Amino acid sequence: MPGWSARADGLPVFTLQPQNQYVTAGSNAAFSVSATGATDYQWRFNGVDIPGANAASLTLTNPGTGAAGYYLAIARNSSGWVPSQMAYLTFKGAVVPFSNTQPAYYQDEQDYFPPRPITNGVAQIVAGPALDQMRPMSRTANVSSGLYSSFPPLTLTNVSSNQTVYYRAQITYPAAAYGGTFTQASTFLKLTNPSSNSAVGSISFPYYIEWGGDPQVSAGAAPTNQLRVPGETITLSNQVIVYSDGFTNIQWRKDGSELPGATNWIQDPKYLMVYYPVLSITNLQPSDAGVYDAIVYAQDWIMTPKIYLSVQTTNGPGLFQSPRFAGSNFVSDLSGAVGRKYQIQYSSNLSDWVGFLTVSNTTGTITISNNPGLNAVFYRAKLLDY
């Protein structure tokens, strides 16, 4: 059995992530990051590189409301590109009327049969400039006879007057079958350029509260962050469950910005309520490094978990270096992508290859040792898929 040892080159590692910024229009906004091993950075706004923004900090002087959106930094060195988390810049001060009186909303059949209206619940608005930037508002309204009273206009502290606003209601009420209280979210509404006289449309509540919302991210969906190398073809995927027939679409995003045409999904052939948002990237390049997620549109809207894609540029596919002999053993150093697995193969004729060792390149360089006997042997390394 060949022996092997490892030593390292490394990608940058973030030790300080950018934070959301909430500012008054005309005030400066600043983002900062720090990453060990980084030689420079590239800041992005809504997925687009900001020219000249290559330092660990980014200051926006007197930004207009058009600067609202997602910011992140790509940390770079000779080994590759790594994305930071996304941060959101938004502006204070919008006044938006959240007023709605719904038809009678009934508690679920698991609590009462036949169901009956909620008589002692509390409604609250959750709102924000993006689906993953929503926050509960402090003001609430009482629910009686299945109806909740109109909310007076709310001043949002995290959205400007000309931004898009996403909002929904949630009702908390006693649920005897659960031995406590239950909070159920309504469907979403989206306002563009909200103002004090914006019309508020109709929202509804899913009937089956025990399902926890429709759609929802599957408990089996645990996407892992990806470390890839240039030239690969990769597929990113999540898993969601849609209980109703209301499924309409999936939209993939990169760095918070929608990817045109990236709406592919696969329905499970056995479990028809399970859907897989799928994004394929061919001929991967360093600029593809970033943060990927998807919006799922059904009876409700959800965001899938984020996938952080890093690209290692140095010796990613694998490169044998410093060939030598130690006694009767052939020894060489394999440089490749940190954290990826390689199959070491040999051949006597460059046509028929035999895999004899699979190794995990935990640090960047692996020393391979093998005794070929008296035969002339060629070696190569095959980068394995995840």
Q: What is the CATH number of domain 216-311?
A: 2.60.40.10
Asked, colleague to colleague, whether 7-89 and 216-311 share their fold, the answer is: yes
Q: What is the pLDDT of residues 98-117, one digit of tens each?
A: 544 444 444 443 444 445 56
Q: What is the pLDDT of residues 54-93, one digit of tens each?
A: 999 999 999 887 898 999 999 999 889 999 999 999 877 6
The pLDDT value recorded for residue 125 is 79
What's the pTM?
A: 0.82
Q: Where are the domains of the chain?
A: 7-89, 94-211, 216-311, 315-383
Classify domain 7-89 by CATH architecture.
Sandwich (2.60)
What would the 3-class secondary structure string for the chain be? CCCEEEEECCCCEEEECCCCEEECCCCCEEEECEEECCCEEEEEECCEECCCCCCCEEEECCCCHHHCEEEEEEEEECCEEEECCCEEEEECCEEECCCCCCCCCECCCCCCCCCCECCCEEEEEEEECCHHHCEEEEEEEEEECCEECCCCCEEECCCCCCCCEEEEEEEEEEEHHHCEEEEEECCCEEECCCCCCCCCCCCCCCCCHHHCCCCEECCCCCCCCEEECCCCCEEEECCEECCCCCCCEEEEEECCEECCCCCCEEECCCCCCEEEEEEEECCCCHHHCEEEEEEEECCCEEECCCEEEEEECCCCCCEEEEEEEECCEEEEEEECCCCCEEEEEEECCCCCCEEEEEEECCCEEEEEEECCCCCCCEEEEEECCC
* pLDDT < 70: residue spans in the chain: 1-9, 93-119, 144-163, 176-178, 193-214, 219-222, 243-246, 374
The pLDDT value recorded for residue 12 is 94
